[in-house]
Structure 1
Amino acid sequence: MNRKLTACLLILAAVLTNVAFTVLGSVFDYPDVLKRPVDEILTAFRADQAVIVGWFSVLAFSAALFAPVAIGVGRLSRSAAMRAAVPVGIAAAVVQVIGLARWPLLVPGFAADGATDDFATAHHVLGTLIGETLGYALTAAWTVLVLVAVGATIAGRWFTLLGGLSAVLIAAGVVSPLQVPGVDFANFIGYVLWSGWLVAFAVVLLRVRVPEPVH
């Protein structure tokens, strides 16, 4: 994992995530559809099942890319913060893939059988608790740890401020199940800013000489 490959994966992950999210929002009203009753979600899923499954697969793949990204970024520093960031980043990728993979792997069967109770359980455990809540927390933690480790050495204050703000807004999604007003919107804005931060991070890696990691 060299800097160029890490930068390419950062850009690819950001682009695929936003394209998949946009398409799913158009054909499936995602993520707002998740707030609807279970039978309505399954009905909407059946209406464009092939397209929805395909784009959730893309979204899961983009989430999986953060495992190698975490490893590549981990090569930028040998600090304690970065040593912690690598497993946190990998864990963030794993839990999000688990949450998103339910759509191509489990939901088609639930939709075919009309298994609303099974869907509701998977939706709550795999989606809300693992994919979303843990995903938000781990993604925000990885971002903060990376900023602590290398933020001041590879870019200006803007890089730290952008990454830090996006992390705070993403972390706000942890309380989304409590239906706190404004949290879902804050989380959405956080991911938009974070996508920009990822692309900026990639540009920094490609154009700025990053100091060799020191013990």
Structure 2
Amino acid sequence: MTLRHTTAAVLVTAVVAVNTAFTLLGTSFDYPAVLAQDPTDVLRRFHENPAVAWQFALLALSAALLAPAALLTSRLAGGARAAALTGVAAAVVQVIGLLRWPLLVPSLDPADPADVHTFTVLNTVLGNGIGEIGGYLLTAAWTVLTVRALRPGLLNTALAYLAAAGIATGVAIGVEWASKVNFAGYVAWSLWLLWLAVLVVRGRVGARVAVPA
């Protein structure tokens, strides 16, 4: 398999994985809207459905795929170091934020006030601070750096900038309109990645001379 085909496969897999995990969590756990509820109720709902833990693990895995995607697209661009490092960082902070669900939350008892407090702290530090704010900003930055390095054309670049702006809006945690714009940004981001995968396979992006088609 050539570099282009490997890159496209990783991009498509990442999109499928993240949307599958997000759909499952939205159906079984009302995620992310559930996080606005009382922490005790959220923790209780988590324990009532054991499948939620592995669904978060799948979401973490999909976030981790951003790292190889960043490294591969960087190679296609002839070595876009800033884009590669930013993409890997985006993957790391999101995985750190998400893994609290399958690794730490299962041991917390909703009937224990101390555990509920710990759950709240984990959500604030690992969830909001590292996973969300860090993830939103780094993912948006990687998106912009990637299209600047790959030069995928005006329309694809415009969609990338639109998606990046929407994702970055998510840093306004707790603001209803910002969360809706953030969600729309991720939808646009998924479409952008799929479109980019097609362009990659067709040899329409990257270092056209040095990279095998």
Q: Could you tell me the TM-score, scaled by structure 1's length?
A: 0.91
The aligned counterpart of 2:182 is: 187
For 1:90, what is the secondary structure of its paired residue?
helix
The aligned counterpart of 1:14 is: 15
2:150 and 2:14 map into 1 onto residues whose CA distance is 21
Asked if 1:35 corresponds to 2:36, the answer is: yes
The aligned counterpart of 2:159 is: 162
CA contact (8 A) 1:163 1:194 kept: yes
Q: Could you tell me the TM-score, scaled by structure 2's length?
A: 0.92
CA contact (8 A) 1:175 1:183 kept: yes
CA contact (8 A) 1:136 1:173 kept: yes
1:20 corresponds to which letter in structure 2?
Answer: A
Alignment partner of 2:171 out of 151, 154, 174: 174
1:110 and 1:213 map into 2 onto residues whose CA distance is 53
1:124-164 CA-partner distances (Å, limit 9, x unpaired): 1000000000000000000001111122xxx3311001111
Distance 1:98 1:113, change over 3 A: farther
The aligned counterpart of 2:125 is: 125
CA contact (8 A) 2:43 2:110 kept: no
The aligned counterpart of 2:194 is: 199
Structure 1 moving runs of 4+ over 6 Å:
none
1:5 and 1:160 map into 2 onto residues whose CA distance is 22
> Equivalent residues in 2 for 1:20-169 (5 A)?
20-48=21-49, 50-78=50-78, 82-111=80-109, 114=112, 115-151=115-151, 155-169=152-166
Aligned length: 206
> How far does residue 21 in structure 1 lie from its aligned partner after superposition?
0.3
CA contact (8 A) 1:173 1:187 kept: yes
> How far does residue 174 in structure 1 lie from its aligned partner after superposition?
1.2
CA contact (8 A) 2:41 2:110 kept: no
> How far does residue 95 in structure 1 lie from its aligned partner after superposition?
0.3
2:210 and 2:90 map into 1 onto residues whose CA distance is 24
Q: 106-115 or 123-132: which moved more?
A: 106-115
- What's the C-alpha RMSD, in Å, of the aligned pairs? 1.7
1:212 and 1:138 map into 2 onto residues whose CA distance is 30
1:45-83 CA-partner distances (Å, limit 9, x unpaired): 0110x210111111001111111111000012247xx22
CA contact (8 A) 1:77 1:212 kept: no
1:141-194 CA-partner distances (Å, limit 9, x unpaired): 00001111122xxx3311001111000000001122xx3340000000000110
> Whose helix fraction is larger, Structure 1's or Structure 2's?
1
> How far does residue 212 in structure 1 lie from its aligned partner after superposition?
3.4
CA contact (8 A) 1:10 1:69 kept: yes
